[in-house]
Structure 1
């Protein structure tokens, strides 16, 4: 079984960020990822930023002619 568990390597130690789903002695392989940001600040979302930029036709919800035989 292959399982991925996130962790942080710092000062010669690996600290796991979650509990692995194993109960017994298990071989592991550690892969170091480069250039990742561990804590990215969340940006605030702006509601209605695309208001007025997307236009839908008045008959958007009407059945399509191509599917009349299936209805």
Structure 2
């Protein structure tokens, strides 16, 4: 079972905003969200894919697979 619980880290301790849904010793993975991550998370960056995406010259040409239907 994977569960995410929001909380914060302060003075060497992790404080969770709610109780964990487990009662026994369990492995955990902790991800720290820095201010830089919070400011860019989920936001689109204009031109972020410039030079990484290209379309072939024949992009708008009919597909050979659809000849029978045209």
TM-score by length of 2: 0.48
Larger helix percent: 2
TM-score by length of 1: 0.48
Which structure's CA Rg is the greater one? 1
